Structure 1
Amino acid sequence: MADHNEPNDVKMQIGIMGEKLKEAMPVSVQEFPWKKAEHILVDRLFNLIQEAVKWSLILFFIFSSVSDVVYTFSINRELIIPVALFVGCLVADFLKEISQELFHRSEEKDLKWHFLGMYCIFVFVKFMSTWFATLPRVFLLHVANGGLMQILWLWRNFVEDAKNKQETSSASSLRAS
């Protein structure tokens, strides 16, 4: 019976300590808008994570593209590069159009997830190309590079358009004031 009451005693002691700590805090700390600070911190952390993901995807594209070009030159198949890059860009545009048709809600956040999903598809193509013979492998590597390049370009244009819309809406709201 004594063991059963012990957790309640611990909870009661923790509650008493919390109340004493709250009483010992200065009024300015008690009146601080903690919820607003929490939301600001979460927003900043989310933006930081987005930037980290963006730059890691860009670095992956750069290093893997350079590696693929060096590999292609080493096996003397460099004429495949422009054709495969072009095919990759076309496939990326095709996937973008399909995703916009399937998901009519092309809000900002949804569109970012579409781009990330398409990026993952091309990364998957890059990894799957290792199981093919030399010529199809080289072609698929550069198709994936072209798709990744096009998606990064579309993502960049999307971010710039969103910033321009935000600037024009803030400028028009300032004029209305």
Structure 2
Amino acid sequence: MALKLNASAVYSLQSLHMDMAANQPCDPKKLSISHIVDTATSLWNTTPRPLKTFPWNKTLNHFIQLVVDLVLAVIRFLAIPVFCTTSITEMSYCAHERKLYLIPLPFLVGVAVAGVLHNAALESSSYLKYAEVPWHLIALLTSFALLKFPGPYYPYWGRIFIPHMANGAILRTLWLLFLWFQKPQKPPENNHVDSVADSPKIDMVS
């Protein structure tokens, strides 16, 4: 009699466990994501119309532009003091190691590398010649700055050559930026040709 009761108890426990497993969701992540999506949809549907028609994307773009302008302003005012301070530190290290006479060599190499990369970028894309923002020069400046700042962590000869090569490249890039903003921005030749083609012809009556 006891064995029958134990068997029935085990059977009932197994059936209860199966029912609980059947009632559990198969993928909790999917259900949670669908629940979040449904909640967001219901909230959006109950949102007043003025909030729906508000130009959120335009406001976000203006906010991002404001943040970028502030960051660029801070970088512009701090770049020269930081550059001068780090350059003096690097020169003092070379003087301490009695390698001060080697500074012009990596400096000239950096100047040449920046010029070669600038010309290669202009040859690879004709739109850069007439772009309002010289993104290729900004990318070069950022790359050489990232190459310069880990200077104390380079090996011995790396601490002597790499920072000064980056200094030469940074100064050449800054000079190219200065020349870029000084030159008059001309429209592309294709646009000029298209404007001439689209303009109506005037018949000269003699």
TM-score range, shorter chain: 0.5 to 0.7
TM-aligned CA deviation for residue 143 of structure 1: 0.5
Taking the TM superposition and a 5 Å limit, the aligned residue runs for 1:7-86 are: 15=48, 45=66, 46-86=68-108
Higher relative contact order (CA 8 A, sep 6+): 1
CA contact 2:151–2:163 (8 Å) conserved in 1:
no
Is residue 84–residue 146 contact of structure 1 (8 Å, CA) maintained in 2?
Answer: yes
Larger radius of gyration: 2
The size of the alignment, in residue pairs, is 141
Q: 1:156 aligns with which of 178, 200, 205?
A: 178
Unpaired runs of 5+ residues, structure 1, are: 1-7, 20-33, 167-177
Query: Taking structure 2 as the reference length, what is the TM-score of the superposition?
Result: 0.53
Per-residue CA deviation, residues 127-163 of structure 1 (Å, 9 max, x unaligned), is 2673322x3420111111111111111112212225x
1:141 aligns with one of 163, 171, 195: 163
Task: Quickly say closer, same or farther: Cα 1:125–1:85, change in 2 above 3 A.
Answer: same
User: Structure 1 55/155 Cα, relative in aligned 2: closer, same or farther at 3 Å?
Assistant: farther
User: Which runs of no fewer than 5 residues in structure 2 stay unpaired?
Assistant: 1-41, 187-206
Q: Quick one: distance in 1 between partners of 2:142 and 2:64?
A: 25
Deviations 1:50-107 (A, max 9, x none): 3323333333322221211111111111111122211111111011111111222113
Please give the root-mean-square deviation of Cα atoms over the aligned residues, in Å. 3.8
For 1:131, give the aligned amino acid. Answer: Y
In structure 1, C-alpha distance between the alignment counterparts of 2:160 and 2:122, rounded to whole Å: 30
Contact 1:61 1:149 in 2 (8 A): no
1:76 match: secondary structure: coil
Indicate yes or no: 2:154 matched with 1:131. Answer: yes
TM-score (norm 1): 0.60
Give CA deviations for 1:23-60 in whole Å, capped at 9, x if unaligned.
xxxxxxxxxxx9xxx79x76983544433233333333
* 153 and 73 in structure 1: CA distance in 2 versus 1, 3 angstrom threshold: same
Distance 1:68 1:128 in 2: 8
Equivalent residues of 1:123, 1:144 under 8 A apart:
yes
